[in-house]
Amino acid sequence: MSPEKENFVEHTLVLIKPDGVYRGVVGEIITRFERAGLKIIAMKMVWIDKDFAKKHYGAHLKKSFYPNLEEYITAGPVVAMVLEGVEAVEVVRKIVGPTEPKSAMPGTIRGDYAHISYAHADKTGKSVCNLIHASGTTEEADDEILLWFDPTEIHTYKRAGEKWLK
């Protein structure tokens, strides 16, 4: 077992999708993660194309909603980041809230900044604009991080007071 896994420290991928960028809430979203004690170890803004969207959302390619999802994720720039923290995957998923914004509790990112339902998206032929993507498992996080970031783009550093956060 690696030292990182022994102390429960994980890395996870977070994407602030085009609707989050266009609405100007990137800073607020980042602040929520930092206030929880998570550390940003990589970050960049990219405008992905359809080929890259297919790589990221490969598990959904055959699903009926995929064309709308692809249109949504390629509609504007995306802020991609790698966060580090104790059991980061689960912590980030709690902060983000459920995939369907309508089901997300107030206090979560999706609960505070979105309200769209699956039913509405299906009826209108649109994607569920839910502001953010967060890896669902540590395995998924490892794969997604390698897709989005070169290892040279991921940084190690100590923050003031970090000993109290880990």
Tokens for 124, please give them. Answer: 């209108």
Q: Residue 158 pLDDT more than 50?
A: yes
d(CA 150, CA 147): 8
Q: What is the pLDDT of residues 115-144, one digit of tens each?
A: 888 888 888 888 888 999 999 999 999 999
State the angle between helix axes of 88-96 and 26-35 in degrees (0 to 180), rounded to the nearest 10: 130
Domains of the chain: 3-152 (3.30.70.141)
d(CA 165, CA 161): 7
Q: Which residues are catalytic?
A: 133
Residue 108 forms beta bridges with which residues? 106
Closest CA to 104 of 76, 128, 125: 128
Helix (H, G, I), strand (E, B) or coil at 86: strand
Q: What is the pLDDT of residues 18-47, one digit of tens each?
A: 999 999 999 999 999 999 999 999 999 999
